[in-house]
Chain A
Amino acid sequence: MSAIIEELDPERRDVELPTDAAPAPDTERPRRVIRSRRPGGPNTRKPGDWLVLAVAVVLGFFIAVPFLLILVNSFKSPADYNTSGPLTLPTEFYFDGIVAFWERVNFPEKLWNSVFISGLVAVFAVLISMFNAFALGIGRVKGRLWIVVLILLANMLPQEVLLYPLYFMFKEAGLYDSQWAVIIIFTVIQSAFGTYLLASVYSTFPRELLEAASLDGASRWQILWRVVYPISRPTLSVLLIFFFIWTWNEFLIPLTFLVSNATQTVPVAITVLQGDRLMDVTTTSASALLGLIPTLVFFLIFQRTLTRGITAGAVK
């Protein structure tokens, strides 16, 4: 119930992210109450505040422009686009572009493929990151710095470099044109970043807790699942969301490895609309909108987890 109240409370977004150890929601609440009762209240902002606000609004506008253009053009008929160009509002709502794209690429199938791949990658990559980070950050194995650097190479190398070796490897393994190729590749790539990040989070993990647990006779496996996992869960959730969205938006490797139409993801399906010489602006916009909505919905559902901050949830 309290979660719903918080969600309905618009002021919640004004709270700055805590930079020190994150306070639990209960300690946040009184602080906000005090602030809104500050003498003068929000109506007597200083000129500096207004300037910051104005700059933020302008920046926000520029960030939103591409999205707004997609939105405007998705619902425009080609005739409307030809006479008035990309910047004006549509004269009437036109859904044919969206319907045409939906049917042409069998969108539900592509949507499912994307959810399937991104979902599995997110879960697997978080799991592997956690195991790796447990060994590197808490277990403090020898040469951990170099192990982390080595793992990070997977992230630093441009995907174009990886493409051919991966192609030959997976062809030999019989996994070319299989979604498992993409799942394995991105699990490795995403968990490289996850390992790096989690290892540094875990290296600041309070030793007292670990020592207390081992004094109580917990095995390493139990320490991981009973102590480390529950406490770092907020960080793991954030990683899960990032991995999902990043994998969703991947293009080059899915394009290469998913040969059959039935296995393809949403970003790959969108390219069907780009011809040799012609482009269809309104249908392309519609397809971009369709491709973007799922990640947007996913983000909105989980955004409260995101705002919790990536380093949140150390010791309560």
Chain B
Amino acid sequence: MKHTRTLAVAASVAALGLALSGCSGSDAGGDENTLRLWHYEGADSAMGIAWAEAIEVFEEETGATVEFEEKSFEQIRSTASQVLNSDEAPDLLEYNKGNATAGLLSSEGLLTPLDDVVDEYGWGDQLAPALQTTAKYDENGIMGSGSWYGVPNYGEFVQVYYNKDAFAEAGVEVPTTLAEFEDVMQTFADQGTTPLAESAAEYPLGQLWYQLALSEADRQFVNDYQLYENPVDWSGDEISSATETVKDWVDAGYISTDASGLKAEDAGVSFISGDAPIFYSGSWWYGRFQSEITDFEWGTFLFPEAELSPGSAGNMWVVPERAQNKELAYEFIDITMRPEIQALLGNNGGVPVAAEEADITDEKSKELIANFNALNDMDGISFYPDWPTPTFYDELNAGLQELVNGTKSPSEVQQQLGEQYQSGVDDIVG
């Protein structure tokens, strides 16, 4: 009796399925007045809010309709090359910058080169030079030169978040030099608090290490490290000072040895909960801190004395080669570059690439965007330490974990990292 029931239920599910299958499946948009748009920003995020407004403006001005689908980052990351090679390709999508993503697709001919359009609309003048780096790819898909394949709409950079209440309680000021920064951390350490929220299992410590190297470096070092212009000296001043400083900070108790097992989420939460008064990390935390930190005041500043800091243009608009309504896509990109949309992005905790500081009314966001603009004025956007090779992210984290644990000395770690970096770069440059 029971088995009959099991199969009967299954059979009726199947029958119902067959009956309704007419409404599944999809229609690839071929309509001339429809813009098929994909992005993966949450509706409440700065980009989500600004782009929703852009969609309204676009529909009003052009009379076209926007068929928008919110995708997952994971889906675009893992299936873009297949989707863009099919008739299901949208007209415009947000895609990840970098050699392994946009670079690879551009070299496969799946993205539309945008040089003429960029000239026509003047987007090149709106974007700082370092922000253009990730938008251009050469014929091998390596960023920094060649044709435009994308247009970044927002930026990101790494800065210091600090707990104002904890600073006031400890009687310390916002530091302006690296020496003062160390004094501040020493004060906290003396009071029994580990000052820095850190994670060596994921990106935060790698970015701090890179920042410490950048503090000793000039633009040429960044070009050598990121764009392979000259070989990088892995026992030179820049890298030695970074590795040794990380080691000193661990020994002095500024960074907990527990950090080797912690993830970025853990570090962020320890700042939100007030356990750690200082967190060196990216502007992507900004919106979350704004909504989730309720019991203390907090602020941000650029890393003391730094003229270069990790950061880059954000993910960008790309137009698939197989898009059906490219002109509409270009018009939409142009709307998102307008000052009012950029200001909307900025007022909601995002980092606009082309906003006037005067348009930003939100006090906190003003600080964030002033930091970003200051960094851009110095031409200080220096990308991320793990970009040069596909495997360096894991290698760098592993090396720094050993440094934090004390299983390897600074010189051993940087020698190992240097070999791994070089072999990865050799594979790319040939």
Contacts and interface: CB of A to CB of B under 8 A. Distances in A.
B245 to A, nearest CB: 24
Contact of B13 (A119, A259, A272, A273): A119
Given A82-B273, A271-B72, A123 B82 contact: no
A235 to B, nearest CB: 10
Given A123-B14, A233-B7, A260-B69, A177 B28 contact: yes
Contact of A277 (B13, B264, B291): B264
Interface of B is mostly: helix
**By CB atoms of chain A within 10 A, which of B17, B70, B87 has the most?**
B17
A78 B1 contact: no
B26 A259 contact: yes
A123 B11 contact: yes
B191 interface: no
A122 interface: yes
Given A115-B13, A261-B70, A281 B86 contact: no
B83 interface: yes
A203 interface: no
B315 interface: yes
Interface residues of B, number: 50
Contacts of A237: 3, 6-7
Contact of A275 (B70, B73, B82): B73
Nearest to B77: A276
A278 B26 contact: no
A117 B72 CA distance: 21
A240 B78 CA distance: 31
A305 B82 contact: no
Contacts of B18: 120
A281 B266 CA distance: 11
Contacts of A3: 1-2
Interface string A259-302: 11111000011011111111101000000000000000000001
Interface string A49-60: 000000000000
B204 to A, nearest CB: 10
Interface stretch (B282-290, B353-361, B414-422): B282-290
A236 interface: yes
Interface in B29-58: 40, 42-43
B14 A78 contact: no
B279 to A, nearest CB: 13
A78 B292 contact: yes
A304 interface: yes
Interface of A is mostly: helix
B96 interface: yes
B88 interface: yes
Interface in B381-403: none
A272 B72 contact: yes
A234 B82 CA distance: 41
B10 A262 contact: no
A159 interface: no
B294 A278 contact: no
Contact of A83 (B40, B87, B273): B273
Contacts of B74: 255, 271, 274
A179 interface: yes
B348 to A, nearest CB: 15
Contact of A255 (B7, B75, B86, B272): B75
Contacts of B13: 115-116, 119-120, 123
Contacts of A275: 40, 42, 73
A82 B270 CA distance: 8
Contacts of A82: 269, 272-273, 292
Contact of A119 (B10, B71, B82, B88): B10
Contacts of A75: none
B51 to A, nearest CB: 15
A226 interface: no
Contacts of B21: 116, 179-180
B168 interface: no
Nearest to A84: B273
Given A82-B272, A83-B273, A274 B3 contact: no
B272 A113 contact: no
B22 to A, nearest CB: 12
B26 A262 contact: yes
Interface in B257-286: 264-265, 269, 272-273, 282, 284-285
Contacts of B378: none
A241 B9 CA distance: 11
A255 B74 CA distance: 9
A104 to B, nearest CB: 7
Interface in A230-259: 233-234, 236-237, 240-241, 244, 255-256, 259
Contacts of A269: 72
A273 B20 CA distance: 29
Interface in B63-81: 69-75, 78-79
A240 B73 contact: no
Closest 7 CB pairs of A and B: A119-B13, A271-B72, A271-B74, A260-B26, A272-B72, A82-B272, A123-B14
28 contacts: A78-B291, A82-B269, A82-B273, A104-B42, A104-B70, A115-B17, A116-B13, A116-B20, A119-B17, A120-B14, A120-B17, A120-B18, A167-B82, A177-B25, A177-B28, A177-B86, A178-B26, A179-B21, A233-B4, A255-B75, A255-B79, A259-B88, A272-B72, A274-B73, A274-B74, A277-B203, A277-B282, A305-B2
Given A79-B294, A82-B272, A237-B3, 4 more contacts: A104-B70, A119-B17, A233-B7, A261-B69
